[in-house]
Structure formats: structure tokens, C-alpha cells
């Protein structure tokens, strides 16, 4: 990354630290994770069986929204402030601008999620802290995947309010309705679609992938069978590739779209 | 860099021919104004020079040598976009620090630039507390940060108060004195006239006319007003002078208390003075009023 890109990463990070929204995210995430963790502790049941799945549900709902909100104004915000032209008049390629903005915001997201989970770990007992530590890596991947998607939405949008609306719709579609849609598909086709296809479609959505991965981590592979899924998660290499694709492809798409724009 | 030339620039945006065979030259030590109605192609041309709009055709030269609009070129340009607004959460100093870092400018220059644009005392305040004019001045600070060879200012006077205008005039004077180039687009023709050297009037993506303000006045052939201050309104010789001017027939004659006004084309001004010299002691002074640049601009656009 060149001089402009590095400066932009720092600038984005600085801007996010001044952004009250990021502070609210950290506080909210810490509060909810701590609450769930303490509840699991007081319930006197096996922590992983109660705290883990609850935290997975909480994270799968909250983190994608937070990540997309964090990135939805990355490009369109500059466009509305009339500073995108100023930014692109610097000696830098457009794809580098997108990646620098992504990295700057990714660092802010990583910091707020880590701080949130870290606080919850501190107040939890040993078992709770272990559960939370298992959650950290996949939660960051989930956040970064949706952050990347938010970058793409930001580049495609002409107005910030449009980008915000698309973010909310995307969140509903991928986090709430996706699984319901797949269930509907199974019902409509009367089981004509194979379990493998459904499993593939589930893990094609980062929120679904995260849920399955964490369910398996907390409750063992049998939990997928209990859910009626015959297929297992792909191997570590395929999983890593899947996550990398979600992290990188939307951002590359964003960079290509911005590069292909004739007028900025 | 002492000159920049854009030749045969064509830009088509959808159904609109935004620039149509545009040829513009910029010279060191001169400020060139782009004028024209909305949609004439002023901002598009600026964006072409900034690499923000890709032309369909066109070539560019600096000091007579062909150049590409690449990163090396971008390093030599300072840009103030129209109605610029920076991130509300950052201070003026933080905004400039980012651009200084991105452009490889020594951080010691930041304070000097903030002082120059009159934001020295507001540098640690968040931009959200800045007025429109202060944001515009911050934008000007970003544009001049690297002491660029070419300064591109899109509607720089918008939102500026008298203090802001003084800052802008100071920058323009400094750039011209240093032999650098300025390309400025504005609707405030009268306000900017004294600070510019060349004017390029665009209409529907084409260059209508390019030259100095005097060149444009000549092209517009608008009447100048020759105003004589009369010594004594009751003096019969004043009536005779008025009759002589009317008989001469090359200008419109108007008489008001204490004044005789003749509207003529610039090449007839000497003849008017010659006629007046035949009536000594009738006037105590005269003033020639040029048509305003706004009138010239309207005439040129109306005639096109």
C-alpha cells in the first residue's frame, strides 16, 4: 500500500475513534455479551450449552448490522460531502482507496468487538471466558465479511440514505429471512432439493456459516444432525477460502465499480 | 511547469456531449476563469484535468510535452471542489494533517497554511462547528498545501464572507506572482474580474470565446458610456454640444442634470472627445465606463 493508502487507513481509524456510533457499538456489545455470560453463570448449567448458543444468536444478529452500518457511508459519504473527487484527485488508485477505507474501518470494528468481548471475558468465570474466546475469531470474520458487503453497497449508492436503506434490507434478508427462505424452498419443492444443496446454500451466507461453525464448536458435530442437516461443514481449508472470499470479493467488486465510473 | 494545454477534449456522458472539442491553454502567472451557464462543461473540464472524468478523446501537454493524467501529474495539482464539506468529527488541523500525510508534505507547513486561510485559531475545533465559509477556507488550505503548480478552484467564492474573499484574493495574487497557474470557475464574474487574466466562456460543452476581459468586451461590441460633467446646465453651448453629438449619429445621447452621456462603441470614443473639444469650457471632466463583465457575458451567450 502506498503513502496515500497508509494515510487513509490512519485517517479512517481516527475518524472512527471520533465516531460516537463506534463507542456505542463497543458498549452495547460488551453489555449484551456480559449479560448473557453472567446469566449462563447463574443458571448453574453447563456454560457452553447455554451461554455459547445465546452468544452466537446475539452475535449473528448484531455484528452484521453493526459492520454494515460502519461501512455503508465509506464511499457514498465522501460523495455527498463532495470530498470523493478531492480524495481521488490524490495520487492513488481507486481500488487502493477502497481497500484503505476497508482496512481502516476493519481495524475499528476489530477493536470494538474485541473490547466488547474482552470486557465480557473479564467479568465471566473461566468456562464463560473460554466460550467467549472461542467466539472471538469467527465473530471478527463475520463482521469483516459484512463490512466488505457494506463497502460494496456504499459504492453502488448515490445517496447515503439509500445506502442505509439497502443495508437494513440486506441485513433482514441475510440474517432473518435467508434460513426461512431455504425452509420455504424445501417445503415448496417437497424435498426435491437435496440436503447437500441446502447445506451448501446455508454456508454460502456468512451469517449461516458463522452459526453452523459456532454451533458445531459449542455442541459438537451431532448438533447439525439434530438440526436435520446430513452434510457437515467443509474442511478447514475450504472454510478459510469461503471466509476469505466473503472478506475480499465484495471489496474488490467495490474497487472495480469505482474504477469503472466514468465521472466521479 | 509554465504552461498546460488541453487539445481536442471530447467527453460524452450518457446522451449529453459534456465537452465537445475543447481546447484550453493555461499559462504560468495567469489565472484563467471558466465561465458559462450551468451544464456548460466547466466542472467536467476541471475533472478531466484532475483525472476524475475520463475523456473519450483529447490530449494534454505541459510545457509543450505530451503528458498523461496520472499520479505524477496529480501530485502537481491542488483542487478545491465546489461546496466542499469535510468529516464533521475531525478538527480542521486533523483534516489538513491527513492531506499532508497523503501528499508527503512536511507537517510544519500545516500551521502556516491554517494561518494563511485564517483558521489558525479554529484549527482545534471540530469541522461540525465551522460555518460554510470556514469549510470553504479549509478546502482552500487543502488545495494550496503542496504549493501546487496548478490550482483548480471550482466556485471558490461560494459562501465566503469578506474575510474569506480577502483570503482567496491573497492566494490568487500569491500564485500569479509566483508564476503558477490557476483555473477558476465562478458565477461571480464581476467579483473575480480584477483577479483573473483570461476568461474562457463555455456553452453546451464548446469553447465560445477565450481571451482577456478586454478581448471579450471587444468581441461583445457593447457600448461604453462616455460621461461629461457639465460646468453649467444653462449654458447654451452645452445644448449645442448635445446637438452636435446627436447629429454625429454614432451613439445614443442622453442629458441629465449636470451630465451629458454618450453611449458609443470603444473605437468611437476618440471621435466623441474630438467633438467635445470644439466646445471648450462646457465640461469640467469626463469618465468612460466600460460595460460590466456580466453584461459582456450575457451578450456573448445571447448572441451564440
Predicted confidence (pLDDT) per residue in A205-234, tens digit: 999 889 888 887 777 766 666 666 655 677
pLDDT at A41: 66
Exposure class string for A32-60: b at 16+ Cβ within 10 A, else e: bbbebbbebbeeeeebbebbbbbbbebbb
CB-based contact A135:A211 (threshold 8 Å): no
Which of B74, B83, B90 is closest, CB to CB, to A89? B74
- Closest C-alpha among B223, B224, B221 to residue B303: B221
In a mutagenesis test of the A interface, which of B98, B125, B153, B159 is the best target, namely the one with the most A β-carbons within 10 Å?
B98
What residue of A is the nearest CA neighbor of B54?
A: A262
pLDDT at B278: 87
Q: How confident is the model at residue B48 (pLDDT cuts 50, 70, 90)?
A: very high
Asked if A10 has any chain B CB less than 8 Å from its own CB, the reply is yes
Can you name the residues that pair with B25 across neighbouring β-strands?
B5
Predicted confidence (pLDDT) per residue in B142-171, tens digit: 999 999 999 999 999 888 888 899 999 999
DSSP category for residue A176: I
Q: Which residue has the cell 460646468?
A: B231
Cα of B51 to nearest chain A Cα, Å: 7
Q: Which residue has the cell 455459547?
A: A52
Q: How far is CA B211 from the centre of its chain?
A: 12
What residue of A is the nearest CA neighbor of B82?
A: A82
List chain B residues with CB under 8 Å of A14.
90, 94, 98
DSSP3 helix / strand / coil % (chain B, rounded to 5): 40, 30, 30
Residue B79 and residue A85: Cβ atoms within 8 Å?
yes
- Start-to-end Cα distance in chain A: 22
Residue A82 and residue B74: Cβ atoms within 8 Å?
no
Which of A10, A83, A92 is closest, CB to CB, to B84? A83
Exposure class string for A204-241: b at 16+ Cβ within 10 A, else e: ebbbbbbbbbbbebbbeeebbeeeebebebeeeeebee
Average pLDDT over chain A, rounded to whole? 84
Which of A15, A81, A85 is closest, CB to CB, to B52? A85
Residue A40 has pLDDT above 70, yes or no: no
**Domain locations along chain A:** 3-171+248-259
pLDDT at B227: 92
What residue of A is the nearest CA neighbor of B86?
A: A81
Return the C-alpha cell found at B150. 496548478
Residue B190 has pLDDT above 80, yes or no: no
Which of B51, B83, B104 is closest, CB to CB, to A3? B104
- Closest C-alpha among A236, A235, A180, A230 to residue A205: A180
Cα of A59 to nearest chain B Cα, Å: 28
- For residues B212 and B202, give the distance between their C-alpha atoms in angstroms, rounded to a whole number: 15
Predicted confidence (pLDDT) per residue in B210-256, tens digit: 998 888 888 888 888 899 998 888 888 888 888 888 888 888 888 88
List chain A residues with CB under 8 Å of B126.
18
Residue B299 has pLDDT above 90, yes or no: no
Higher local confidence (pLDDT), B183 or A208: B183
In angstroms, what CA-CA distances link A238 with A60, A200, A202, A203, A251?
21, 12, 15, 11, 20
Higher local confidence (pLDDT), B269 or A192: B269
What residue of B is the nearest CA neighbor of A259?
A: B52
The whole-model pTM stands at: 0.85
CB-based contact B90:B126 (threshold 8 Å): yes
Asked if B83 has any chain A CB less than 8 Å from its own CB, the reply is yes
The H-or-E segment that residue B144 falls in is helix B132-144
List chain B residues with CB under 8 Å of A8.
98, 102
Which of A7, A19, A85 is closest, CB to CB, to B98? A7
Amino acid at each position: 500500500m502506498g503513502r496515500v493508502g497508509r494515510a487513509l487507513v490512519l485517517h479512517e481509524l481516527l475518524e472512527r475513534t471520533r465516531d460516537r456510533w463506534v463507542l456505542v457499538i463497543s458498549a452495547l456489545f460488551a453489555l449484551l455479551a456480559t449479560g448473557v455470560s453472567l446469566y449462563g453463570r447463574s443458571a448453574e448449567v453447563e456454560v457452553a450449552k447455554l451461554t455459547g448458543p445465546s452468544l452466537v444468536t446475539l452475535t449473528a444478529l448484531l455484528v452484521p448490522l453493526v459492520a454494515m452500518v460502519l461501512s455503508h457511508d465509506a464511499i457514498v459519504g465522501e460523495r455527498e460531502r463532495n470530498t470523493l473527487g478531492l480524495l481521488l484527485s490524490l495520487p492513488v488508485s481507486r481500488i487502493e482507496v477502497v481497500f484503505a477505507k476497508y482496512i481502516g474501518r476493519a481495524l475499528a470494528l476489530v477493536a470494538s468487538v474485541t473490547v466488547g468481548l474482552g470486557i465480557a471475558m473479564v467479568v465471566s468465570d473461566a468456562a464463560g471466558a473460554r466460550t467467549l474466546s472461542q467466539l472471538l475469531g469467527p465473530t471478527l470474520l463475520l463482521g469483516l465479511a459484512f463490512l466488505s458487503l457494506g463497502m460494496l453497497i456504499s459504492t453502488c449508492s448515490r445517496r447515503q440514505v439509500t445506502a442505509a436503506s439497502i443495508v437494513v434490507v440486506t441485513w433482514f434478508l441475510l440474517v432473518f429471512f435467508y434460513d426461512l427462505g431455504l425452509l420455504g424452498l424445501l417445503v415448496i419443492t417437497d424435498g426435491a432439493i437435496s440436503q447437500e444443496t441446502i447445506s451448501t446454500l446455508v454456508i454460502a451466507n456468512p451469517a449461516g456459516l458463522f452459526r453452523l461453525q459456532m454451533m458445531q464448536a459449542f455442541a459438537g458435530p451431532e448438533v447439525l444432525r439434530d438440526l436435520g442437516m446430513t452434510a457437515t461443514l467443509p474442511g478447514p481449508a475450504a472454510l478459510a477460502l469461503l471466509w476469505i472470499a466473503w472478506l475480499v470479493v465484495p471489496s474488490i467488486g467495490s474497487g472495480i465499480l469505482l474504477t469503472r465510473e466514468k465521472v466521479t | 511547469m509554465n504552461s498546460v494545454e488541453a487539445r481536442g477534449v471530447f467527453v460524452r456522458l450518457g446522451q449529453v456531449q459534456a465537452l465537445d472539442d475543447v481546447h484550453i491553454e493555461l499559462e504560468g502567472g495567469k489565472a484563467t476563469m471558466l465561465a458559462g451557464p450551468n451544464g456548460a462543461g466547466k466542472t467536467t473540464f476541471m475533472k478531466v484535468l484532475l483525472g476524475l472524468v475520463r475523456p473519450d478523446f483529447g490530449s494534454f501537454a505541459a510545457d509543450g510535452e505530451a503528458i498523461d493524467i496520472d499520479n505524477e501529474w496529480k501530485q502537481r495539482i491542488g483542487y478545491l471542489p465546489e461546496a466542499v464539506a469535510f468529516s464533521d468529527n475531525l478538527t480542521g488541523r486533523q483534516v489538513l494533517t491527513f492531506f499532508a500525510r497523503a501528499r508527503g508534505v512536511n507537517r510544519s507547513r500545516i500551521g502556516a497554511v491554517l494561518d494563511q486561510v485564517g483558521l489558525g485559531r479554529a484549527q482545534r475545533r471540530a469541522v461540525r462547528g465551522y460555518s460554510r465559509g470556514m469549510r470553504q477556507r479549509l478546502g482552500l488550505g487543502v488545495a494550496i498545501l503542496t504549493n501546487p503548480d496548478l490550482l483548480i478552484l471550482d466556485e471558490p467564492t461560494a459562501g465566503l464572507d469578506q474575510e474569506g474573499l480577502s483570503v482567496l484574493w491573497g492566494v490568487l495574487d500569491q500564485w500569479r506572482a509566483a508564476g503558477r497557474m490557476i483555473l477558476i470557475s465562478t458565477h461571480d464574474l464581476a467579483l473575480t474580474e480584477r483577479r483573473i487574466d483570461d476568461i474562457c466562456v463555455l456553452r453546451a460543452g464548446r469553447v465560445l470565446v477565450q481571451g482577456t476581459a478586454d478581448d471579450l468586451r471587444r468581441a461583445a461590441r457593447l457600448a461604453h458610456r462616455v460621461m461629461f460633467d457639465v460646468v453649467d446646465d444653462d449654458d447654451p453651448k452645452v445644448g449645442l454640444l448635445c446637438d452636435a453629438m446627436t447629429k454625429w449619429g454614432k451613439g445614443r445621447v442622453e442629458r441629465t442634470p449636470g451630465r451629458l452621456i454618450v453611449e458609443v462603441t470603444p473605437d468611437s470614443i476618440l471621435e466623441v472627445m474630438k467633438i467635445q473639444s470644439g466646445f471648450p469650457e462646457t465640461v469640467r471632466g469626463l469618465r468612460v465606463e466600460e460595460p460590466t463583465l456580466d453584461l459582456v457575458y450575457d451578450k456573448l451567450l445571447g448572441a451564440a
